[in-house]
Amino acid sequence: MLKINEFQQLMKDIYLKRDQKQGLNKTFIHLIEEIGELAECLNSKNKEIIQNEIADIVAWIFSIANLLEIDMEASLLNKYPMKCPRCKNNPCICK
Ligand SMILES: [Zn+2]
């Protein structure tokens, strides 16, 4: 199984040069475009299309993180330390 930091390195290897060339703002616009594409197909019940769009969104998120030198694995575990950050439970019991 691919770990989060391994996926981040993969995205760096493949896309960092491209992303640095286009810059943060254009990279962010690509993310928003992909979110729009997910919105369009979300009610289609076509799981294959939906999973592809979600993968695109995650890839652009990692591109942004790489441009800002943010460690995604550390960030995710820091924000979500195996429990809900609000109620501190797993599963969450927030109302
Ligand atoms: Zn909660």
CA 95 – ligand 1 centroid, Å: 8
CA 81 – ligand 1 centroid, Å: 12
CA 61 – ligand 1 centroid, Å: 24
For residue 5, the model assigns a pLDDT of 97
* Residue 68 DSSP symbol: T
Q: pLDDT per residue over 4-61, tens digit each? A: 999 999 999 999 999 999 999 999 999 999 999 999 999 998 999 999 999 999 999 9
Q: Which of 77, 74, 55 is nearest to 11 (CA)?
A: 55
CA 89 – ligand 1 centroid, Å: 6
Please report the beta strands in the chain, taking only residues with DSSP state E, as ranges in sequence order.
none
CA 90 – ligand 1 centroid, Å: 8
Total-model pTM:
0.92
Residue 26 Cα distances to 34, 38, 85, angstroms: 13, 19, 31
Do you find a cis peptide bond into 91, omega within 30 degrees of 0? yes
Topology of domain 4-79, per CATH? Helix Hairpins (1.10.287)
For residue 12, the model assigns a pLDDT of 98
CA 31 – ligand 1 centroid, Å: 27
Q: pLDDT per residue over 57-68, tens digit each? A: 999 999 999 999
Q: Residue written as tokens 């652009």?
A: 60
Residue 72 and residue 58 in contact, taking contact as beta carbons nearer than 8 Å: no
